[in-house]
Chain A
Amino acid sequence: MKKYRLLKQFLRGNKAAYIAGIVFMIIAQLLSLVNTFIIGVVIDSVIGDILPEGIAYKGLQLLGGKEHLMHNLWICGLVLVFFSAFEGVFMFLSRKYSAIAGEGIAKNIRMDLYEHLQNSTYLYNTSIKTGDIMQRCTSDLETVRNFLATQFQDLIKCIVLIVASVSVMQKVNTDLTLAGFSLMPIIVLGAFFFFRYVSKKFLLADEAEGVMSTVIEENLSGMRIVRSCATQSREIEKFIASSLDYRNKDLKITVAFAWYWGLSDAICQLQIGVVLVTGIILAVKGEITVGMLTVFMTYVHNLIWPIRGMGRVLGDMGKASVSLGRIQEVLEAPREPGRDDTGLTPKIEGNISFENVSYEYTDGNEVLKDISFSIGKGETLAILGKTGSGKSTLLHLLVGLLPYEKGSIKVDGIELGEINKRHLRKNIGIVLQEPFLFSKTIKENISDNNPDITDADIEKATSIASVDRAIRNFEKGYDTMVGEKGVTLSGGQRQRVAIARTLIGNCKVLIFDDSLSAVDMQTDKEIRNALRKHCADTTTILISHRINTLRQADLILVMEDGRITDRGTHDELIQREGLYKQVYDMQSCVLDMAKAGE
């Protein structure tokens, strides 16, 4: 039932086109039957001497009677062309509207999926496997679209054809009609079972192809390692093995298909033969005319392939339902609350306080324990702690990516949970530990095509982030594409573009989650100096493993295992034993070494 509602949701805005497509298709099919019938009548009653009945008689009279037509056969030809042109028009309309509906449906599914993935919660986003979701958004989507737009219509077409042909054939001769359908069940069932059977083989071949792709991918991305370990021969062996396996699995499908097409074609042909031979016997007995035999033959001929297709559609129907279910799962993922127009939108100054905040991703497993601190507008907070101590989690709470339940977080005295999420994030900017750059130009990455952002703004942000000069050195400057089709940026450049991208938002609070790790010390310093100069009023939160990056902060928190184990300024912290001092000693021995050299 839910699935049915989902199908209706995908159809939205396209119902009219969808129905039009089906109606036009039915008309076209009926006209094609009429066409064949006309040929039969012409053979029997114009060229031959059989007296026409019913509509055929009226038709002949309308066109001037048998005698007239016999001497002016071109009129019959013209009628035929006229009807088939009609059929053509409807066939075209049907295809056109079906395509409009089908593509509209595809667009709806795509938009729904994409929109949902953009608005789902952070936890959902981090818990999914990209490859799996990608498959749902591409091949599952294609399966559903194909079912709605093509297969379902084919099914209707097939049913219409059967019903209409049978009712015409039935009128002419019952025995021949029965003969005409005698083998059809075998054809349908054969296709049905074959396509079910072979889809398993396809899965195997797809897997083998996946293995082969992985070998190539890993070889290409690890090319430098392959060369320096001189393992080319082994890589080639590995590749040949995987490619052979893929080939052999494909060959199994080949054999299956060769059997299927060969056999099913012979059966279809046999079906036509049955009609022909039965027709001969009936005609000899005088129960059917030559023209009508031709009509039968053509009808059966035209029916047989769609019916074989129907078996396939039925065989594939299970797949469509599975795919629909997989899409449904994505669309039912939790959405982030507080995103719409609800919530407060206060002016944010940048005073932040945490009171007894705890957080657990999974029950009973607290990653943050009883965190309390506060910083005022324009101050700098720094956090030091081992990987996994909970630093990123803390910051994700502050930008509302994670919902907190225990304790209280206040921004300018207002409870964070009550502030509108979009408003919050426009005011609290974060540079993530692993920032993602979009495969657009550098400029678009920074400005997001916002017309309010001028080139001067962009340049200011990039120069604060110390990446201005590097960008200018690219052949295409700010219009350089990021990623495969453009320049592959170094780790440090990526981080700095990400910093510039966050700076452009003029946020009141700036968060850097280990965002300077891949830039050298000198640049690190330049960036911090520039920040201090240009964003003096901005509250800043820094995570870093480098003491130098942290030392000027107004408050330094030391985190171990989800707890704040120490806090203070640099000068205070180096006075006491603890993690901060340990790290400081380790890093400053470098300085001692440097001094020793003098």
Chain B
Amino acid sequence: MEEDNREIFNKNIDLKMWKKAIKYLAKYMNHVIGIVIAMIINAATDAALPLFTEYAIDNFIAYKTTEGLGLFIILYVLLLILKGMTIYTFIYLADKLWHLVSHDIRVDGFKKLQELSFSYYDRNATGSLFTRVTSDVGRLTGIISWGLVDMIWAISMIIMMTVYMFMKNVKITLVVLTVIPILAVISVFFQKRILFYSREARRYNSIITGAFSEGIQGATTSKTLVREESHISDFEKKTDDMRTASIKTAVYSGLFFPIVSVLGIIGTSLAIWQGGVMILGEVITVGTLTLFISYTLQFFHPVNDMARIFARFQFSQAAGERIMALLEADIDIKDSDEVIEKYGNITSDMPVPKLKGSIRFENVSFRYKEGEKVLDTFNLSVEPGQCIALVGETGSGKTTIVNLTCRFYEPTEGTIYIDGQDYKTIPLMYIHKNLGYMLQAPHLFSGTIMDNIRYGREDATEEEVINAAKMVEAHDFIMKFENGYNHVISKGGGGISTGQKQLICIARAIVNDPCIFVLDEATSSVDTQTEKAVQRAISKVLHNRTSFVVAHRLSTIREADRILVIDKGKVIEQGSHEELMKLKGHYHNLYTSQFIDDSNKDLFGTPEPLPVED
């Protein structure tokens, strides 16, 4: 996610944010100190080098002697070794600092992502969370460590050059220094614009990358809709935008460098003018003049560095703010202090006791957003081992009910009891580790099939895994792969059909041996034969466990102990399949109308208005 450049352009530096970011440096104070020292020495050697030329001109050449040249060479070599060493040191330390701090912040960010509740993920697209822990972190820490290097160097360099010059001649120095403020103003002006347009260009670049990706993935769709031409012309617009922004960047930096170097030459001219007169008056030497000339030619480096750091700080701020927002986000659902006091800090790698699995909703109300109540004083009581089926239109609140049960969300009002205890007084991990949860879109991780089935319980033996796979009738197709259980599933799970993925996910849940099972439309569009297999697997799994099943297919629902028909967050009918069919209400309607030939009823009339909406 790219922030709006325009806004940042005029934003001030937010010290609070930077303070927080700089706290991460505390661990590596020795690195920071090392960098500071190395940079000061480095700047000193940079500023000292022209002194050698000066000395050479004023002593060896002026007096036509090579006496002392040996010492001169030794000193020079020592200085350049010192300089090489400082360069080694600061690159090593700054780069290391960059990577170390990046790693630290990344880990903190990732840990935080593991704790944040579903509601946080609802508000933030995964793509943007991904960039926060990757490129945003890199950008923030890059500017902190390299910004430090550049800043110290620039400051020391300016100070040292000024000091040396003042020591040589006050008047020339004062005249020459007049270009510095102008340099500074110009540098700031240009650096901001250069950075602005280069970021615009980068933004367009990512748009173009996106367009390429769509162009490739949607190529067949474009063909069938005959939209190639219009896509190509859309794409051309994007590349034109990119080109314009890139050229603007180049024009600004193309203007900047000549202007700055002309300013440098103005400084040089001032030095020649003032210095020349003084040489003629024998106030200074030729060597000193060359010293001034080389300093004035180098002036713009440190000034420009400062301007660039300033601009970069401004533009990296948004990245920093995003990371800090993540690190400081409130976790909605976590163990309360009392729970932690009683049970200790339970993390996901600790063993937890088994729950029995009785669940009770007492006057539960829930809303995702202010003002939109999804559940209103909802009541439900489930015995251990019971299977509850939820049916109803899309959007009626079925998923919400099961997510509340899993404590992925907590009720806004009312209480949910698990095994007779308010579930907020049970450690979160006790609940989650007793949970088997399957979704419409089966998710596999990259790795082998074995790894995937074992995902929830790493210590499961191979035998347990194979048993689970056999139980869900996945064993046969798994063995058809060349490497059997060691078949590697590539990123995204290619090479395996959806139905097969579902079977693997069910096997994964079985290995976990949970006491509460949730199947949220876990059987979807697979052909009729595969569907049968999935259903057989599910009915085996559900045996003797508390379970919630959300499904459209009657064959799955029918066997439930109790069916709840949900409409707009309320239970409108409930009972066993037989009871509900006798009722001839909503449920009856739903399933008979589905299969009675639609041709004779409402062929050309409008179909019965049923509030089916996604």
Residues of A within 8 A of B429 (CB): 230
Residues of A within 8 A of B251 (CB): 95-96, 99
- With A43-B286, A122-B223 given, is the CB distance from A470 to B614 under 8 Å? yes
Min CB distance, A482 to chain B, in Å? 11
Residues of A within 8 A of B435 (CB): 228-230
Contact B224 A430 (CB under 8 A): yes
Whether B10 sits at the interface, judged by CB under 8 Å, is no
- With A257-B91, A273-B77, A593-B558 given, is the CB distance from A47 to B286 under 8 Å? yes
**Which chain B residues in 418-477 approach chain A with CB under 8 Å?**
429, 432-433, 435-437, 439-441, 443, 445-446, 455-456, 458
Shortest Cβ distance from B518 into A: residue:
A228
> Which of B165-173, B380-388, B588-596 contacts the other chain?
B588-596
Min CB distance, A423 to chain B, in Å? 9
Whether A16 sits at the interface, judged by CB under 8 Å, is no
Whether B400 sits at the interface, judged by CB under 8 Å, is no
Min CB distance, B131 to chain A, in Å? 10
Whether A591 sits at the interface, judged by CB under 8 Å, is yes
Provide the B96-112 mask, 1 if CB < 8 A to any CB of A, else 0.
Answer: 10011011001100110
- With A221-B443, A276-B53, A525-B607 given, is the CB distance from A91 to B254 under 8 Å? yes
In Å, the complex CA distance between A364 and B56 comes to 85
Residues of A within 8 A of B9 (CB): none
Whether B12 sits at the interface, judged by CB under 8 Å, is no
Provide the A69-86 mask, 1 if CB < 8 A to any CB of B, else 0.
Answer: 010011011101100110
Min CB distance, A549 to chain B, in Å? 10
In Å, the complex CA distance between A138 and B209 comes to 7
Contact B57 A293 (CB under 8 A): yes
In Å, the complex CA distance between A254 and B91 comes to 7
In Å, the complex CA distance between A137 and B277 comes to 61
Assign chain A's interface to a size class.
35 or more
**Given A106-B243, A273-B77, 17 more contacts at CB 8 Å?**
A43-B290, A76-B276, A77-B273, A91-B254, A91-B257, A118-B231, A236-B110, A236-B114, A255-B92, A259-B88, A270-B77, A432-B221, A448-B227, A473-B613, A529-B603, A590-B594, A591-B595
Whether B119 sits at the interface, judged by CB under 8 Å, is no
Residues of B within 8 A of A453 (CB): none
> Which of B146-154, B183-191, B370-378, B520-528 contacts the other chain?
B520-528
**Which chain B residues in 568-593 approach chain A with CB under 8 Å?**
577-578, 580-582, 584, 588, 590-593
> Which of A211-219, A370-378, A407-415 contacts the other chain?
A211-219
Q: Which of B221, B408, B602 has the largest count of A CB atoms less than 10 A from its CB?
A: B221
> Which of A160-168, A183-191, A260-268 contacts the other chain?
A260-268
In Å, the complex CA distance between A387 and B500 comes to 12
9 closest A-B pairs (Cβ-Cβ)?
A597-B581, A77-B269, A88-B258, A99-B250, A95-B254, A262-B88, A266-B84, A228-B437, A229-B456
Whether B61 sits at the interface, judged by CB under 8 Å, is yes
Residues of B within 8 A of A477 (CB): none
Shortest Cβ distance from A133 into B: residue:
B216
Shortest Cβ distance from B598 into A: residue:
A525
In Å, the complex CA distance between A294 and B217 comes to 61
- With A89-B258, A236-B114 given, is the CB distance from A229 to B95 under 8 Å? no
Residues of A within 8 A of B276 (CB): 42, 46-47, 70, 73, 76
Residues of B within 8 A of A78 (CB): 269
Contact A39 B266 (CB under 8 A): no
Contact B66 A117 (CB under 8 A): no
Contact B595 A81 (CB under 8 A): no
- With A95-B253, A218-B446 given, is the CB distance from A118 to B232 under 8 Å? yes
Contact B269 A436 (CB under 8 A): no
The residue that A520 contacts in the complex, of B49, B57, B552, with Cβ under 8 A, is B552
Whether A227 sits at the interface, judged by CB under 8 Å, is yes
Min CB distance, A244 to chain B, in Å? 7
30 contacts between A and B (CB under 8 A): A43-B290, A47-B280, A89-B258, A95-B251, A96-B251, A99-B246, A100-B247, A103-B242, A103-B246, A111-B236, A111-B239, A117-B212, A125-B219, A225-B437, A228-B437, A234-B348, A258-B91, A266-B81, A270-B77, A277-B76, A399-B224, A473-B613, A518-B525, A520-B552, A528-B598, A532-B603, A545-B526, A587-B528, A590-B594, A597-B578
In Å, the complex CA distance between A575 and B349 comes to 59
The residue that A229 contacts in the complex, of B261, B512, B594, B602, with Cβ under 8 A, is B512
In Å, the complex CA distance between A126 and B114 comes to 36
Whether A401 sits at the interface, judged by CB under 8 Å, is yes
Residues of A within 8 A of B265 (CB): 35, 80-81, 84
Contact A126 B220 (CB under 8 A): yes
In Å, the complex CA distance between A490 and B228 comes to 26
Residues of B within 8 A of A235 (CB): 114
Assign chain B's interface to a size class.
35 or more
Residues of A within 8 A of B408 (CB): 224, 227
Q: Which of A110, A114, A529 has the largest count of B CB atoms less than 10 A from its CB?
A: A114
- With A77-B273, A228-B432 given, is the CB distance from A590 to B73 under 8 Å? no
In Å, the complex CA distance between A429 and B221 comes to 11
Whether A233 sits at the interface, judged by CB under 8 Å, is yes
Provide the B177-201 mask, 1 if CB < 8 A to any CB of A, else 0.
Answer: 0000000000000000000000000
Whether A526 sits at the interface, judged by CB under 8 Å, is yes
Whether A362 sits at the interface, judged by CB under 8 Å, is no
**Which chain B residues in 119-160 approach chain A with CB under 8 Å?**
121, 125-127, 129-130, 133-134
Whether A365 sits at the interface, judged by CB under 8 Å, is no
> Which of A54-62, A281-289, A310-318, A352-360 contacts the other chain?
A281-289
Contact A520 B394 (CB under 8 A): yes
Contact A247 B102 (CB under 8 A): yes
**Which chain A residues in 446-478 approach chain B with CB under 8 Å?**
448-450, 466, 469-470, 473
**Which chain A residues in 217-256 approach chain B with CB under 8 Å?**
217-236, 239-240, 243-244, 246-247, 250-251, 253-255
Contact B280 A70 (CB under 8 A): yes
In Å, the complex CA distance between A212 and B290 comes to 53
Shortest Cβ distance from A220 into B: residue:
B126
Residues of B within 8 A of A47 (CB): 272, 276, 279-280, 286, 289
Shortest Cβ distance from B458 into A: residue:
A234
Contact A436 B208 (CB under 8 A): no
Q: Which of B262, B429, B436 has the largest count of A CB atoms less than 10 A from its CB?
A: B262
Min CB distance, A182 to chain B, in Å? 15
- With A294-B293, A597-B580 given, is the CB distance from A130 to B269 under 8 Å? no
Residues of A within 8 A of B85 (CB): 262
In Å, the complex CA distance between A246 and B261 comes to 41
Min CB distance, A430 to chain B, in Å? 5
Residues of B within 8 A of A134 (CB): 209, 212-213, 216
Shortest Cβ distance from B350 into A: residue:
A233
Residues of B within 8 A of A425 (CB): 223-226
In Å, the complex CA distance between A281 and B72 comes to 12
Residues of A within 8 A of B279 (CB): 47
In Å, the complex CA distance between A219 and B129 comes to 11
Contact A228 B406 (CB under 8 A): yes
In Å, the complex CA distance between A133 and B209 comes to 11
Q: Which of A228, A266, A276 has the largest count of B CB atoms less than 10 A from its CB?
A: A228
Contact B349 A233 (CB under 8 A): yes
Residues of B within 8 A of A138 (CB): 209, 212
- With A220-B130, A290-B286 given, is the CB distance from A125 to B280 under 8 Å? no
Whether A174 sits at the interface, judged by CB under 8 Å, is no
Whether A156 sits at the interface, judged by CB under 8 Å, is no
Whether B87 sits at the interface, judged by CB under 8 Å, is yes
Min CB distance, A210 to chain B, in Å? 10
Residues of B within 8 A of A99 (CB): 246-247, 249-251, 254
**Which chain A residues in 127-149 approach chain B with CB under 8 Å?**
128, 130, 133-134, 137-138
Min CB distance, B132 to chain A, in Å? 10
In Å, the complex CA distance between A583 and B276 comes to 103
Contact B215 A114 (CB under 8 A): yes
Provide the A531-570 mask, 1 if CB < 8 A to any CB of B, else 0.
Answer: 0110000000000010010011000000000000000000
- With A228-B437, A529-B598 given, is the CB distance from A254 to B61 under 8 Å? no
